[in-house]
Structure 1
Amino acid sequence: MTVPRVVTITGATATGKSRVALDLAHALAAAGRTAEIISADSVQVYRHMNIGTDKLSDDGREGIVHHFLDVIDPDQTFTAAEFGARSREIIARNWAEGRATVIAGGTGFYLRALEQGLFAGPAAIPKVRERLKREAEEKGLTALHERLRDADPEAARRIHPNDPVRIIRALEVLEVTGLPISEHFARQAREEPPHRNLTIGLWDERDEMYRRINQRVDEMMAHGLVEEVERLRALGYGPEFKSQQALGYRQVQALLDGRLTREEAVYLIKRDTRRYARRQLTWLRKDKSIHWMPAADRAAVVATGLGFILGDKRPEPSMPPRLRKGRG
């Protein structure tokens, strides 16, 4: 059996990833290959959160099977490791049964988990963890971070000295396995995924990206984002839940608490979304395997995806133009 070929459509928020993925799925179907879409969006997994996540409605999915939309309640968690493992199962099953898989989304941790996997490590050993916690309390977190630096400089460089959870976990893994946690991560990264992936990044000029973001926020407010958050609060999902700290929801929760006016909430959602888009691009630029294409050229993106899945034609990686500096 051939190795599954997958196309991932990624890019910053509001670049039209979902629409392009649908176009590609329809084009594959027209060419005789049914396709399913995996959503790589860490907030679209939540039920009852539709407007603020710009989630496709049932009709908006246009008859295409979508995975990882509406899979958990707003007080539950869905980890990147779960996403990666379950996505690999879907990709393998689809390919074995003659279907293609298209991935759409911009959550970097999800995409990394799919391609590289995530090191879960050994199960926590209560005695070891409790002893390390006591040491942190008695000797101070700095002493534990220094111990980590001596044993695993790479992990110490990545973990902030004031992050007790990750420091203790790194020392725990070292003690239980005899190997630094950075070595476990390196081994995981060297493992080849069980599929071949072409990642296409969609890019817009800065002004166009900002225009799309501002327009989307205005549409969300007009379509009832405030009322959606009111319904979430009625279900018991207030600002204390992680899901309600997502972009849009955090600001509207503050609006409903009386801490922001409507105008202030709209301004902050737009500003923070623009900043988030820039962070997404910074993250994605680190992946030198991405083939970047203009978001407006949907037909060319679809043709490139078709060529890879049906004909194993892989374009060379490329980089998007740098966004001109401007106010966020």
Structure 2
Amino acid sequence: MALLEIRNLTRRFGDNTVVDNISLSIEAGEFFTLLGPSGCGKTTLLRMIAGFDEPDAGKILLDGVDLTGVPPEQRVVRTVFQNYALFPHMTVAGNIAFPLEMANTPKSEIKQKVDEALEDVRLTGFAARYPHELSGGQRQRVSIARALVTRPKLLLLDEPLSALDAQLREQMQIELINLQKEVGITFVYVTHDQAEALALSHRIAVMNKGNIEQLDEPTRIYSYPRSRFVADFIGTCNLFDGTVTQIAGDTMLLDVPGMGAVKALTVAGVQVGSKGTIALRPEKIQVSAEIVGGVPDENHFDGYVKELLYMGGVTVYIVETEGGVRIETLLANSAIGRPRFFEVGDTVDVAWRVDAGHFLSETGYV
């Protein structure tokens, strides 16, 4: 049995359905992420799990126990907020000890538990400091320690790293992964940051307009999106709309306006005349100065570099075909003494294998 089960959960605000009949299960020890744009319902779903908001329909079961009507303080669930929510007049030790005191934990046990929580988040020696004496990352770690000190079955994290700068956020991501492994507590994490979700999670639920578009492992969601929304929202993706004109064995042809015939892998359920989209990640496209052709398992299109964006380790190239279609690709800047390979205006050939593109039907992934 799963640790957390959400069954047909719905939440409305007036005529607006924010969470629409969602069902999912989360296993014990899992790092599970709710990912989506602002307004998709992910935070509302988290608030209902925490008990800060009540659903209009459905159930939330923790270890088989229905949490409907159970107040937040009586749930074996703790929440870490974006703004830390620390008491400024209390020391680090006082902040962490607070939930233990509210639970009438014997004073003889509190110090040991606080010390263990500080060790968990690598803040041993910071017990006597006040929140204003800490960095943003340290304050967030105190917030996490306070949530973990009672050893809840479930830790909810609502955009906990969004207030941190990029370098500190990356460092905290690594610390969160290690911490979750060490304490073994189930994490349910809310974020709108796709890269963060891919880096942290065992599984991700991609949400859109109150629904789950796809629930899967990060590699599956990135490489095999099940809808146009997921393909477009997760990372960067070229999306070529077209109509299937031919199916021959493992390969089918699509007529894409501005490009012509594009090869893709044949997928079950698709027929000649079916409309759909080829989703193609930039890193799966090869760019070369020489116009190449005749390779049976590759697509080749010639064009010129319309724009480029130098990003240090890689350069993003926007290549425009003769038909006016823009194709985004990227190359690692690995050549010694040469920061990038092409300049704006250069003629290039772009190519990708037939199995590099991912076909999406008009109704989603086939």
Higher Cα radius of gyration: 2
The structure carrying a bigger strand percent of its residues is 2
Q: Structure with the greater relative contact order (CA < 8 A, sep ≥ 6): 1 or 2?
A: 1
**Smaller-chain TM-score bracket:** under 0.3
TM-score by length of 1: 0.26
The structure carrying a bigger helix percent of its residues is 1
